[in-house]
């Protein structure tokens, strides 16, 4: 997109392109601000991106584009709405700080917008696959005047190179009035200048207001240690633009009687690195049952809310969580009836929103109508275990390394872990430019991922009404991320719209099954389906067409290669072995001699059926219907394998259910003197996807045996 391209706004729960890009589905939060991309503005600087490569500045930018300003250069935005406040997402080179001069309709303001690399360039070497990340930060400013739609607001770099990503324009409300009967922190000695330590004043006000309201007047307050014993109280500010608490640890407590209500102020920390042993969080632990957090601005913390213990029926809504070095919010087990809704999250260093069912399952909890932008080291939303969980009507954009837009996973991290159970509802979500290359797997993660990482998916996973746009790789991924081949099953995908995927619509890498209904795709980069479960021989993944699907009926032809974005499905090598690396199953196996050994390309390894139990069968799923003309059957070539005769027939199926006989049963002689190899020619016109060898006898051993089953087109 050129520098004078589209204006993109986040408003009324929508990612709205004012011109010329198409609008996305009405998912996400209803927001009080409108965002404008810097690449859509007028600039004397230069464009950055697009780029999806991990570790590049553009890969972490909204829309994967931004504008770079050298000192003295500017970017000028056309204001999309009435506003008196602005927030700018920016990046400066590591180790540098400076400012942006601010101009309104050509007139320079006395105020400046400070910029710094202090909170950026985070390293997490203990996280496999991580590189230096978290390049951007946010800086906000009250303009002290009103601007109208069509006015011009410009930012000019002063003394430092600044990359500007996006500007959020907002009409900030005037400071709210003090509630009657409240206890003000200033009455207890808090310093609204931010110079003195207000920690003790906050503690005394909380103790005095038990059952009532603690009032945080306009001003800036510095806390030097965390608050504890917070229960049966409301902490209320005059609005997050006016009441600001400077603290990297606001509440830290393992339990609470609950009824804690925190609202309408900002907590801005000084967290510059991620140290997981430190509770550098807005809330660390428990607020207790029937609590709420609303109208907050949370920034420069490790985690916004790291929730353990009893947080039953907690409501977290209408907040902004920015620039955290780890998660935005994590329900860390035991949560019941929690509702996280209508929040805006940007620039998280881990999952923006996560549920992790450690110690006890999260149950009957939901993430609804949230807008998430630019998590730079994990997923937009991640559900790790739990029972009866809902992920509904969220808008997620621009995930980076190690992350999908949404991950539904049985990855446990620690024990005791509680896997997915009951019904997992994933409904009405919009995913824009989500999914990323996983440097640990050396292959991509899809926009929406179902991951049987540490155990099989036994829950009912219901995915409905999904819109996926501009995924750099695949739309839906089904994988066992540990590489151990656990099944991903009981999955339905209904009513999805997929527009422009870099590679495929369905990326199936685990055994299991999913039914697709009403899934339409346009602009598919490579093929409709990549169906190559890992490890080879672990089982098949069945893609069931439930009707109403269109635009993705082709299958990637070669499981030995990964599709590259936009390359198209390559013409297959006519001389290739169609069976190699494909999924193999059998009626039985003896000890370690599993079916996958017959298609692993190694003639020295072999499958052996259950002994003394004829008939036996080996079935290979070729991935798509093929005109197979020739089979090569092998046993290990060593002389220790004495000559033997196996009696078998060849059967075929196009759907894996109904099989017909391709060749009737006959004897085939395997002899080490001739390489222990048998060639079987099939009739012309044979078309099959599922190849089955039905064995009724073996003169050398009381079981069926093959070291390789090879299938060829000629």
For residue 358, what are the contacts with CB-CB under 8 A and spacing of at least 6?
332, 333, 412, 413, 414, 416, 417, 418
pLDDT at position 2 is 27
- 3 state SS of 349: coil
Q: How far is CA 626 from CA 54, 165, 568, 686, in A?
A: 38, 50, 19, 8
| Per-residue confidence (pLDDT) for residue 557, from 0 to 100 | 80
As a whole number of angstroms, the distance between CA 259 and CA 618 comes to 62
DSSP alpha helix (H) spans, 60-198 = none
Residue segments in the chain with a per-residue pLDDT below the cut of 70: 1-25, 570-572
Report pLDDT for 13. Answer: 28
Q: How remote is the C-alpha of 223 from its chain's centroid?
A: 34
d(CA 499, CA 524): 7
The burial class, CB within 10 Å (0-12 / 13-18 / 19+), for 574 is exposed
| Helix (H/G/I), strand (E/B), else coil: 192 | coil
Q: If you compute the radius of gyration of the chain from its CA atoms, what whole number of angstroms results?
A: 30
Which residue in this structure is represented by tokens 């929406």?
448
| Integer Cα distance of 343 and 395 in angstroms | 11
Residue 171 DSSP one-character state: -
Q: Residues 437-473, buried b or exposed e (16+ Cβ, 10 A)?
A: bbeebebbbbbbbbbbbbbbbebbbbbbbbbbbbbbb
Closest CA to 165 of 33, 297, 67: 67
User: Which class for 151: exposed (0-12), middle (13-18), buried (19 or more C-beta within 10 A)?
Assistant: middle
Nearest to 373 by CA among 399, 350, 392: 399
CA of residue 635 relative to chain centroid, distance: 45
Determine the 3-state secondary structure of 39 from DSSP: helix
């Amino acid at each position: 997109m050129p520098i004078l391209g589209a204006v993109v706004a986040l408003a009324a729960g929508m990612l709205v392109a004012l011109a010329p890009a198409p609008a996305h589905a009405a998912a996400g939060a209803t927001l009080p601000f409108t965002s404008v991309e810097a690449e859509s503005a007028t600039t004397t600087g230069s464009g950055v991106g697009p780029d999806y490569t991990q570790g590049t500045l553009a890969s972490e930018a909204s829309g994967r584009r931004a504008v770079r300003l050298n000192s003295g250069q500017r970017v000028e935005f056309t204001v999309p709405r009435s506003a008196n406040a602005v927030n700018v997402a920016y990046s400066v080179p590591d180790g540098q700080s400076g400012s942006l001069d601010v101009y309104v309709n050509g007139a320079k303001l006395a105020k400046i917008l400070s910029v710094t690399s202090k909170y950026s360039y985070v390293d997490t070497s203990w996280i496999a696959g991580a590189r230096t990340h978290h390049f951007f930060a946010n800086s906000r400013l009250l303009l002290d005047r009103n601007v109208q739609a069509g006015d011009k607001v410009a930012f000019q770099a002063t003394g430092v190179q600044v990359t500007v990503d996006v500007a959020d324009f907002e009409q900030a409300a005037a400071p709210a009035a003090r509630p009657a009967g409240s206890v003000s922190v200033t009455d207890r000695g808090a310093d609204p200048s931010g110079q003195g330590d207000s920690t003790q004043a906050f503690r005394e006000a909380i103790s005095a207001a038990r059952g009532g309201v603690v009032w945080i007047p306009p001003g800036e307050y510095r806390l030097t240690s965390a608050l504890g014993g917070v229960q049966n109280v409301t902490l209320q500010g005059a609005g997050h633009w006016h009441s600001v608490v400077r603290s990297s640890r606001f509440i830290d407590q393992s339990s609470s009687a609950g009824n804690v209500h925190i609202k309408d102020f900002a907590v801005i920390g000084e967290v510059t690195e991620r140290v997981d042993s430190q509770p550098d969080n807005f809330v660390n632990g428990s607020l207790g049952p029937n609590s709420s957090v609303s109208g907050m601005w949370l920034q420069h913390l490790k985690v916004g809310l790291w929730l353990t213990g009893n947080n039953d029926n907690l409501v977290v809504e209408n907040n902004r969580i920015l620039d955290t070095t780890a998660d935005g919010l994590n329900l860390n087990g035991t949560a019941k009836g929690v509702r996280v809704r209508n929040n805006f999250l940007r620039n998280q260093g881990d999952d923006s929103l996560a549920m992790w069912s450690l110690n006890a399952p999260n149950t009957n909890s939901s993430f609804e109508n949230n807008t998430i932008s630019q998590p730079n080291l994990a997923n937009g939303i991640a559900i790790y275990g739990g029972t009866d969980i809902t992920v509904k009507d969220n808008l997620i954009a621009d995930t980076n390394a190690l992350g999908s837009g949404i991950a539904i996973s049985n990855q446990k991290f620690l024990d005791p872990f509680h896997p997915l159970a009951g019904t997992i509802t994933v409904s009405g979500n919009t995913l824009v430019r989500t999914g990323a290359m996983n440097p640990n797997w050396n292959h991509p993660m899809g926009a929406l991922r179902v991951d049987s990482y540490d155990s099989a998916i036994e829950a009912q996973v219901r995915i409905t009404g999904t819109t996926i746009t501009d995924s750099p790789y695949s739309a839906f991924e089904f994988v066992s991320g540990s590489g151990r081949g656990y099944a991903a099953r009981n999955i339905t995908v209904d009513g999805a719209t997929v527009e422009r995927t870099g590679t495929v619509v369905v990326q199936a890498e685990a055994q299991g099954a999913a039914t697709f209904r009403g899934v339409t795709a346009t602009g598919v980069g490579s093929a409709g389906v990549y169906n190559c479960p890992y490890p080879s021989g672990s089982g098949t993944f069945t893609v069931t067409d439930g009707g109403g699907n269109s635009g993705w009926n082709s299958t990637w032809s070669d499981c030995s290669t990964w599709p590259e974005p936009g390359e198209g499905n390559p013409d297959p090598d006519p001389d290739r072995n169609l069976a190699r690396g494909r999924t193999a199953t059998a009626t039985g196996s003896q000890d370690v001699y599993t079916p996958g050994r017959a298609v692993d390309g190694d003639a020295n390894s072999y499958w052996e059926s259950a002994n003394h139990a004829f008939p036996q069968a080996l079935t290979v799923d070729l991935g798509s219907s093929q005109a197979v003309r020739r089979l090569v059957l092998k046993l290990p070539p060593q002389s220790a394998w004495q000559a033997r005769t196996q009696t078998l027939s060849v059967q075929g199926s196009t759907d894996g259910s109904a099989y017909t006989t391709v060749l009737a049963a006959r004897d085939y002689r395997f002899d080490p003197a001739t390489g222990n190899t048998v060639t079987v020619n099939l009739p012309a016109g044979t078309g099959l996807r599922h190849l089955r060898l039905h064995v009724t006898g073996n003169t050398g051993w009381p079981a069926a045996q093959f070291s390789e089953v090879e299938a060829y087109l000629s």
